[in-house]
Structure 1
């Protein structure tokens, strides 16, 4: 019987091939979108799920409560790991991890150019207990090597980069930061991409402890908190998160009461939250807001709903044409259940064909997925999870799309069906289909509003006045393992002699970065902490001119190698309750308490120290040559590739063994908003997709209405109605549907976009013209889609529609 039903279903689909192709096209668009979005969402949700202890591993994080707000740090102070081992009862595995870039020198070069100096990114200094928390597959050696000083463990890829093959790497000697001898005590498999614990090297913790000055970390500094020094632990089954948090509160009370300007506390963060909690940076890799995941998932659901609506509209538009078939089937003894089965069979065929095409389309589009999402180019589409999802999609869309048409067809009375007397009211009327089209336009208009807002926000951010000059600013890092000796001055002089370089500055950092170096401080000769932290940058006397910082009062400081004079920003002056920036000039300030007092020489206009998601922070800029790590250059507008090459040559002449890496400041700033730009692109793609699907839905509804009004159209033409009059008759109510959808979409769009804009400290305005644009586009889509079908109906011969009267 099923074989016969399948043949009949196939013949019906072929017979109505025009509608069948439209249905397949619409469903293919929706299912392809769902497959791609599922791939992104499932990848983001899979972060570190492969870790066997993911439900028991936690990170200890820091919270600082100030008078004017709360700040969060993913790191702890260097003395805390040893102290917590004694204070945390019932917790055995306490594992410190410090991440850093490490300069590596090897004796036997394996690269084609004879290079034997490398920069290893994401090197984790830790103990052998790391493997008791995190899954690591050992290829050679043993992670117990991390209990000995001067031992490192390399990943397979890093070992190949350094030694040609990972087999050759085991047991070899290397030099860390030009000063620390080490040997390769183990090789491990590469960590999967979907991990926030993706390292290239593990180095023994004792190596770090024995070389504090080399790695710039000191294990007696209780007040030093950095995001790169983190602490992890595994809870036994007998301990709960709440119990350990209580012990951490007691630890903070014991060690940090009345210390500093904030009330410090510590608490546990579950491994499963690290990828999504934007308060705390992961130790490696990136993160994504859960709201973004929900948004992507919601878009996928909406697109599938829109595609299913199209199927319902087009299928019910065909229902009257199938009335005689249904009548004959029932007269011959067919039950309603059999008619429902036949209808679902046809729907399943269409959905299954669409899903197969969608799988092929998604496979073709997969390489481009990394352009709109943070997924690796090697990501796979066909996985066991995908097969389950695609099966669920096929069954779910079949049910959603096929249920209503099946109930309508199976409900036909045989006599009325055979006499072709089925009326609109018997298939649910037009009202339901109108409601479905309104829903489609609501979704499309919300996506259009979101797209315009997202694009406008990102455009304004990229064009925003950051308070400094980012155009034609080029910079490169200094080798951190080198002492800040006279070579710095020589390098600066050589670069300044280049006619294509307008100015040169040496500093700890460029004006805008991800760095947040903060400290307590004293002000105006008072030997007590001010009740908020100040953020720090160090630079030479040319820093302000090179980056185009604008002075509100005073001027820059004179050249010095040590702390002598300082410049503060506008926000700093305001938080110090200075009514006029000029009042700050001449006052004294010291960083950390007990350091040298510096004279404030000027106040600069606020500039964006981080991304525009964050508010402006109080800042001090001072001279401290030992902290200089970056060379910034203002290039002439005519500078080209030759200038960049000459900069690199000068660097290598001064630091022949160092690794050079230069970049433009505007590109660095653009990378701050990579996730947001990708999301804006997603909105664009799916807004266009929703418009296409909405057009198909309109076509389905107008086709249904024309089918019901053929005789009316024929009579009107016989009585002298013109083509424009008939077209207007069929089109006018769709204009109303668009406006109804618009009235619903505006508050929804405003709510969702306002929630997204909360991620930014500086938000774009929402102009009235945006809503005018959305309604204009919606009306244009309606006029194009409905107008085409209406004119076609109006041009029909009335004799054909009135022949049986």
Structure 2
């Protein structure tokens, strides 16, 4: 019996090759898309899961309450980056905390080993307890002492190979430059070699320097509750209760923080499992993911698979009449309904199994593409293991049963007497079902087309929005606070500005899109009271404001005509003026300020500019003049012969500061790096949307082909009666167009709501226009007509004599 069922299934597949191809290939593509999306989602959800004690690791986030607002109702932003003394104080006051590990914000350092000199990025000053909390594999060295002594350094395996090749790096010396505010220049000893940090880690590094190096250089930082340069992670015991712990925090702060009354300082804990996808805190130590993007991609994956299954069900129910006589004969000779259901479900499972093989082949060849789209490193081998194989087999069975259930139930319910007489009352039900499924299928397709258009519009806004500063043709040279460069900054400026193709040169500690510190700033209010606020600062050189084209809305910029500007003047942005209660920027000019040991008057207010990405609104910002805490040289080019201009800049650099590598980048490219995850989202969203539409079109082609076959005689009669090709094409197309018009009405409100939710992740967002859905609907109609027209025209051009002879 089973052998007979198998033969019949194979014969049917070979007999109707077009339908078999559409079913198998369409379902295979749908399954492949689902698998690829599953791989991406699984990778995103796996972040930091490799830590053995991950369920007991938390991190401290820092914030402040507004006056008169309860901590539980506070809406202020929290920062992961904060003060150092909070870690030891928590360990001292709470016995449920077993270990504290702290590390600095990311630093860069100039390393010299023999003839190799390179600015190494991704460096952390790390606590000696790191290996007791995090599950990092130390290949060489003692985990208890590797980060204990000052000027100890632990290299990752790839970093060790870069500098030492195949030689043993353990115990070797590395010469390191000064790390501004953290470490003096000196000799570092390699005390450990660490396996490269897994890719699914929320922060990464190339080497670790002992935190005691930082502590030896600036010990006062580790007792200063107002100095932010530390990330604090905690390992708690098994009985830890986060809610109960949080209730004790206000009392802890009152005991431990002497500045509480002024700053309204508060802290919260974040579980490690929430750090990558669920954290809203600012100043993250590394990359973060997007939970909403995971939802979007998961939904798209389900959409694609559903569309493919709908194709299968539509074609199976549409072709049910072709097998009606077979069912009638089988029933008349004693076949039971159960055996028929089993037969048709078996045929369905065979098709799904073949589709799965096609899908697996497509996944194999698509791995490089998905790696490029997601900037991750997926391996096909990760899909083949004892955990995934049962899931894959179960999925094949479920899809086979789901896709084949309705056709099997419909076919097995035919009455043999009626069927053999040519009567089939279930045909109308089948037609209605197919219409419903086509509407649903194209509702999804239209929603995806509209979503793609909105995503592209939002990405265009990110690139084209006037940021309020000049970023085009701006070259940024990074010299990492090197004091030797600062000492000759005047010569560098003069020599570079003399190069043809250079418009102007400016020095600063930060540039738009880069790291910037925060400073507690006290400023005079309208009533004369001095009020303090913590806010971001850009320490800038004398010419920075003019160089970047920042617009002054009140007062003046720094000037060489006023020597006191270097120590007693401050320029702020409009948001900072509003923060202190000045709606009119003119009113804050001349008001007193006190910031990081500098005191004087506000001399100017610049128009708000987007110095961070458009995901966030413009925050209050101060731009104090600072000649000796710079890191970047910004060079504005005229756009004439850029390669020659860059060569001239490198020549000046090598002449004046030959010890420092010439490291440059273009500001617009650096700034847009903030949107890399958004651009990847656009690529992935668009790619899978196109695939979903293609699968839907493939199913529509199958239905159009079947419809044309069923109406062969009708078409022949109409042609004999004088119908032309246009009449026939319109006849076969109008029913599908009606269904797509209904799909437009169904999909518009749903996709509008979904895309509005996605846009909430941007402070600056496009408004969704009604015409987007009109264009999406028209586009889907055009796609459908192009799909249908081929088969319709073929049917219309058929010789009516052959049509009238057909059975």
Q: When the two structures are superposed, what TM-score results if normalisation uses the length of structure 1?
A: 0.92
Residue of structure 2 equivalent to 1:187:
193
Residue of structure 2 equivalent to 1:244:
245
Q: 1:452·1:770 contact (CA, 8 Å) conserved in 2?
A: yes
Q: Secondary structure at the match of 1:663?
A: strand
Q: Which moved more, 1:68-77 or 1:255-264?
A: 255-264
Q: 1:570·1:603 contact (CA, 8 Å) conserved in 2?
A: yes
Change over 3 Å in CA distance of 1:363–1:249 after alignment to 2: farther
Tell me the alpha carbon deviations over residues 538-588 of structure 1, each in whole angstroms, 9 at most, x when there is no partner: 112211221111122333112469433222222223333434333333333
Residue of structure 1 equivalent to 2:71:
none
Residue 220 of structure 1 is aligned with which of 220, 223, 240? 223
Q: 1:566·1:622 contact (CA, 8 Å) conserved in 2?
A: yes
- Cα distance in 2 for residues equivalent to 1:476 and 1:60: 34
Residue 204 of structure 1 is aligned with which of 196, 210, 215? 210
Q: Secondary structure at the match of 1:672?
A: helix
Tell me the alpha carbon deviations over residues 583-630 of structure 1, each in whole angstroms, 9 at most, x when there is no partner: 3333332225xx332333322211101001111112221211232111
- Cα distance in 2 for residues equivalent to 1:65 and 1:267: 12
Q: Secondary structure at the match of 1:642?
A: helix
Q: 1:260·1:520 contact (CA, 8 Å) conserved in 2?
A: no
Change over 3 Å in CA distance of 1:183–1:278 after alignment to 2: same
Residue 651 of structure 1 is aligned with which of 650, 653, 665? 653
Residue of structure 1 equivalent to 2:234:
233
Q: 1:568·1:603 contact (CA, 8 Å) conserved in 2?
A: yes
Q: Secondary structure at the match of 2:168?
A: helix
Q: Secondary structure at the match of 1:520?
A: strand
Q: Where in structure 2 are the equivalents of 1:275-294 lying within 5 Å? A: 275-280=276-281, 284-294=285-295
Q: Secondary structure at the match of 2:97?
A: coil
Residue of structure 2 equivalent to 1:28:
28
- Cα distance in 1 for residues equivalent to 2:526 and 2:313: 77
Offset of residue 299 of structure 1 = 0.4
Offset of residue 44 of structure 1 = 0.9
Residue of structure 2 equivalent to 1:353:
354
| Gapped regions of structure 2 (runs ≥ 5) | 68-73, 179-184
What value does the CA root-mean-square deviation take over the aligned residues?
Answer: 2.7
Q: 2:591·2:602 contact (CA, 8 Å) conserved in 1?
A: yes
Residue of structure 2 equivalent to 1:626:
628
- Cα distance in 2 for residues equivalent to 1:641 and 1:260: 56
- Cα distance in 1 for residues equivalent to 2:132 and 2:558: 52
- Cα distance in 1 for residues equivalent to 2:744 and 2:90: 58
- Cα distance in 2 for residues equivalent to 1:439 and 1:607: 45
Are residue 457 (structure 1) and residue 458 (structure 2) matched?
yes
Offset of residue 432 of structure 1 = 0.8
Offset of residue 736 of structure 1 = 2.0
Q: 1:525·1:589 contact (CA, 8 Å) conserved in 2?
A: no
Residue of structure 1 equivalent to 2:499:
498
Q: Secondary structure at the match of 2:260?
A: coil
Offset of residue 121 of structure 1 = 2.9
Tell me the alpha carbon deviations over residues 54-111 of structure 1, each in whole angstroms, 9 at most, x when there is no partner: 111111111222369501101331122222221112222122122432425445x3xx
Tell me the alpha carbon deviations over residues 456-478 of structure 1, each in whole angstroms, 9 at most, x when there is no partner: 11112211111011110010212
Q: 1:713·1:726 contact (CA, 8 Å) conserved in 2?
A: yes
Are residue 605 (structure 1) and residue 601 (structure 2) matched?
no
Q: Where in structure 2 are the equivalents of 1:327-406 lying within 5 Å? A: 327-376=328-377, 382-384=383-385, 386-406=388-408
- Cα distance in 2 for residues equivalent to 1:578 and 1:564: 21
Residue of structure 1 equivalent to 2:181:
none
Q: 1:317·1:700 contact (CA, 8 Å) conserved in 2?
A: no
Q: Which moved more, 1:198-207 or 1:480-489?
A: 480-489
Q: Secondary structure at the match of 1:656?
A: coil
Q: Where in structure 2 are the equivalents of 1:221-620 lying within 5 Å? A: 221-226=224-229, 229-256=230-257, 259=260, 262-280=263-281, 284-376=285-377, 382-384=383-385, 386-419=388-421, 421-423=422-424, 425-426=426-427, 428-482=429-483, 485-515=486-516, 517-523=518-524, 529-530=530-531, 532-559=533-560, 562-592=566-596, 595-620=597-622
Offset of residue 183 of structure 1 = 1.2
Change over 3 Å in CA distance of 1:188–1:438 after alignment to 2: same
Q: Which moved more, 1:703-712 or 1:651-660?
A: 703-712
Q: Secondary structure at the match of 2:598?
A: coil
Offset of residue 159 of structure 1 = 0.9
Residue of structure 1 equivalent to 2:638:
636
Q: 1:412·1:422 contact (CA, 8 Å) conserved in 2?
A: no
Q: 2:77·2:282 contact (CA, 8 Å) conserved in 1?
A: no
Offset of residue 257 of structure 1 = 7.1
Residue 761 of structure 2 is aligned with which of 725, 736, 759? 759
Offset of residue 715 of structure 1 = 5.1
Q: Secondary structure at the match of 1:468?
A: coil
Offset of residue 800 of structure 1 = 6.0
- Cα distance in 1 for residues equivalent to 2:528 and 2:175: 44
Q: Secondary structure at the match of 1:589?
A: strand
Q: Secondary structure at the match of 1:428?
A: helix
- Cα distance in 2 for residues equivalent to 1:447 and 1:725: 32
- Cα distance in 1 for residues equivalent to 2:308 and 2:530: 62
Q: Which moved more, 1:516-525 or 1:582-591?
A: 516-525
Q: Secondary structure at the match of 1:92?
A: strand
Residue of structure 2 equivalent to 1:90:
96
Q: Secondary structure at the match of 1:682?
A: helix
Change over 3 Å in CA distance of 1:546–1:588 after alignment to 2: same
Q: 1:261·1:529 contact (CA, 8 Å) conserved in 2?
A: no
Q: Secondary structure at the match of 2:430?
A: coil
Are residue 779 (structure 1) and residue 781 (structure 2) matched?
yes
Q: Which moved more, 1:463-472 or 1:504-513?
A: 504-513
Q: Secondary structure at the match of 1:498?
A: coil
Q: Which moved more, 1:31-40 or 1:197-206?
A: 197-206
Offset of residue 733 of structure 1 = 2.6
Q: Where in structure 2 are the equivalents of 1:592-741 lying within 5 Å? A: 592=596, 595-710=597-712, 712-713=714-715, 716-717=718-719, 720-741=722-743
Offset of residue 253 of structure 1 = 3.2
Are residue 6 (structure 1) and residue 10 (structure 2) matched?
no
Offset of residue 50 of structure 1 = 1.7
Change over 3 Å in CA distance of 1:75–1:533 after alignment to 2: closer
Change over 3 Å in CA distance of 1:129–1:553 after alignment to 2: closer
Offset of residue 181 of structure 1 = 3.0
Offset of residue 633 of structure 1 = 0.6
Offset of residue 258 of structure 1 = 6.0
- Cα distance in 1 for residues equivalent to 2:802 and 2:65: 81
Residue of structure 2 equivalent to 1:173:
173
Q: 2:102·2:127 contact (CA, 8 Å) conserved in 1?
A: yes
Offset of residue 304 of structure 1 = 0.3
- Cα distance in 1 for residues equivalent to 2:593 and 2:740: 63
Offset of residue 310 of structure 1 = 0.5
Tell me the alpha carbon deviations over residues 746-773 of structure 1, each in whole angstroms, 9 at most, x when there is no partner: 1111111111111111111222321221
Q: Which moved more, 1:469-478 or 1:71-80?
A: 71-80
Change over 3 Å in CA distance of 1:79–1:173 after alignment to 2: same
Are residue 125 (structure 1) and residue 125 (structure 2) matched?
yes
Change over 3 Å in CA distance of 1:528–1:230 after alignment to 2: farther
Offset of residue 261 of structure 1 = 5.3
- Cα distance in 1 for residues equivalent to 2:537 and 2:744: 49
